[in-house]
């Protein structure tokens, strides 16, 4: 299949692994962050970490929209659904099981009588509002720049149809401010922020915004960026490109994913986003804190379809589970296996943190693809020794 099979060729992967090992300088340590959860899953699924030299570490980033969403935003939707029987709250499947306050989730709120429904696309929510004119349908919209244009289309359609029983809770967040916050924290030695030598830039987000918005990373933070696709050879090639930039002392934005990403991105989608949304002054991210101009809200011209304004919803900060390390994992300070709950109390069947719920979460990736399991080696004296993968 074009653009799939050729990017999963094991012989080419082995060749790239040899090139990386050859060019990685033995006296230097390399720390690269894959910002996007899709890359985290590709690395775990295909065992790419096993192909890299010991002095090259891949660090998981906050590029999972479900994971970075703070508990207070989910509480907002749960409170609305429980308090207003006429309201149907619709959202994507991953959001339903994210733990919120008081032991609740959207899924558990449904069990208590709230009308909460899963949708496969934003348009499903609008269609439901058309089928149920006597109910209020609220779409709980999440995602980075990738899923923002469909939500904008939805609001425009609701306006064109004068569909007053439809509205949106907007949780769309922006990638560049999050990267800026991570690198700024590392540069100032703030907290537990890890040192980063380079960033594997997101794929789908970049098809929308292009490569230009990352240029500040190279110019201001002196950190290389390579935008990569999600196939294993994409990721391996991007890592090789980052190694070369570090070795040569260069800081540039390079595009491995040229088959889908351009410098300017999708200008039609960008214009649509700008027409319907505007930046919030600040927005709370799990793991990163309150970041300025890092999320979007619905413009006043579309206030009739803004659920926060329509129902007078308040965004109240809520602390995460004390034993859950999701926040530290999202900012790259810890790995999933550093969490005492990981693969014990917290599993995909019984998630205690968003990183284990989401299909793009780092904890789910490690659990699903067995990266945490002990590999048993035989010691010379015949005893067994365990090494964590």
Q: What tens digit of pLDDT does each residue of 199-255 get?
A: 999 999 999 999 999 999 999 999 999 999 999 999 999 999 999 999 999 999 999
- What does the pLDDT read at residue 3? 66
Confidence of residue 189 (pLDDT cuts 50, 70, 90): low
| Cα 323 from Cα 342, distance rounded (Å) | 10
SS3 278: strand
Confidence of residue 134 (pLDDT cuts 50, 70, 90): very high
What is the longest distance spanned by two Cα atoms in the chain? 77
* CA–CA distance, 150 with 175 (Å, rounded to integer): 17
Q: How far apart (Å, rounded) are the C-alpha atoms in residues 382 and 107?
A: 50
Beta strand 277-279 with 296-298 is antiparallel
Q: Smallest Cα–Cα separation from 332: which of 159, 210, 179, 219? A: 179
* Angle value at C-alpha 13, between 257 and 256, nearest 5 degrees: 15
Would you state the pLDDT for residue 377? 37
Six-digit token string for 290: 């309150």
List, for residues 315-351, the tens digit of each pLDDT value. 888 888 888 999 999 999 999 999 999 999 999 989 9
- Is the entire prediction scored with pTM above 0.85? yes
Are 32 and 58 within 8 A, CB to CB?
yes
Task: Enumerate the H helices of 249-342 as residue ranges.
Answer: 267-276, 307-310, 326-330
3-state secondary structure string, 122-191?
A: HHHHHHHHHHCCCCEEEEEEEECCCCHHHHHHHHHHHHHHCCCCEEEEEEEECHHHHHHHHHHHHHCCCC
Look up residue 193 and give its DSSP letter. P
Between 191 and 263, name the one with better pLDDT. Answer: 263
Cα(364)–Cα(362) distance, integer angstroms: 5
Does residue 94 have a pLDDT over 50? yes
- What's the pLDDT at 190? 60
Low-confidence winner among 20-29, 89-98, 303-312, 372-381 (lowest mean pLDDT): 372-381
Return the pLDDT at 193. 80
Tokens in use for 326?
A: 């999701």
Cβ(27)–Cβ(348) below 8 Å: no
Alpha-carbon span 58 to 41, nearest angstrom = 12
Q: Is the pLDDT of residue 97 over 70?
A: yes
State the Cα torsion 247-252-253-257 to the nearest 10°. Answer: -40
- How many whole angstroms separate alpha carbon 272 and alpha carbon 302? 13
Report yes or no: 293 and 282 within 8 Å, Cβ to Cβ.
yes
Helix axes 148-161, 122-131, angle to 10 degrees: 20
- The answer to whether 158 touches 310, Cβ cutoff 8 Å, is no
H or E element, residue 91? strand 87-91
Give the three-state DSSP class for 295.
strand
- Burial class of 268 by CB neighbour count within 10 A (0 to 12, 13 to 18, 19+): exposed
Angle at the Cα of 253 from the Cα atoms of 247 and 257, rounded to 5 degrees: 105
Given a cut of 90, whether residue 9 has pLDDT beyond it is no
Q: What is the mean pLDDT of residues 21-29?
A: 97
In sequence order, what are the residues at sequence separation of 6 or more whose Cβ sits closer than 8 angstroms to the Cβ of residue 302?
155, 159, 276
- Write down the pLDDT at residue 132: 96
């Amino acid at each position: 299949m074009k653009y799939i099979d050729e990017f999963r060729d094991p012989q080419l992967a082995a060749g790239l692994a040899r090139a990386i090992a050859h060019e990685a300088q033995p006296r230097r340590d390399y720390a690269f962050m894959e910002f996007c959860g899709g890359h985290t899953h590709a690395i775990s699924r295909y065992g790419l970490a096993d192909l890299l030299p010991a002095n090259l570490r891949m660090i998981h980033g906050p590029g999972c929209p479900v994971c970075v969403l703070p508990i207070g935003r989910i509480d907002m939707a749960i409170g609305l659904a429980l308090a207003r029987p006429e309201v149907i709250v619709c959202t994507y499947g991953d959001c339903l099981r994210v733990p919120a306050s008081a032991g609740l989730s959207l899924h558990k709120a449904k069990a208590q009588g709230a009308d909460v429904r899963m949708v496969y696309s934003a348009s499903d929510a609008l269609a439901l509002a058309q089928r149920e004119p006597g109910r209020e349908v609220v779409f709980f919209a999440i995602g980075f720049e990738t899923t923002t244009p469909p939500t904008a289309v939805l609001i425009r359609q609701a306006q064109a149809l004068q569909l007053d029983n439809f509205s949106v809770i907007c949780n769309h967040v922006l990638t560049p401010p999050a990267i800026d916050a991570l690198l700024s924290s590392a540069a100032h030695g703030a907290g537990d922020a890890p040192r980063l030598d380079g960033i594997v830039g997101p794929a789908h987000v970049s098809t929308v915004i292009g490569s230009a918005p990352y240029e500040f990373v190279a110019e201001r933070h002196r950190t290389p960026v390579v935008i990569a696709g999600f196939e294993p050879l994409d990721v391996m090639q991007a890592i090789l490109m980052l190694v070369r930039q570090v070795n040569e002392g260069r800081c540039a934005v390079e595009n491995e994913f040229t088959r889908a990403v351009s410098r300017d991105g999708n200008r039609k989608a960008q214009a649509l986003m700008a027409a319907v949304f505007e930046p919030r002054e600040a927005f709370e991210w799990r793991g990163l804190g309150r970041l300025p101009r890092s999320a979007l809200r619905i413009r006043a011209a579309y206030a009739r379809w803004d659920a926060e304004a329509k129902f007078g919803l308040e965004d109240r900060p809520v602390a995460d589970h004390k034993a859950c390390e999701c926040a530290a994992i999202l900012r790259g300070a810890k790995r999933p296996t550093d969490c005492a709950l990981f693969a014990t109390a917290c599993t995909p069947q019984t998630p205690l943190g968003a990183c284990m719920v989401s299909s793009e979460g780092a904890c789910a990736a490690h659990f699903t693809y067995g990266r945490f399991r002990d590999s048993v080696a035989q010691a010379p004296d015949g005893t067994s020794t365990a090494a964590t993968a």
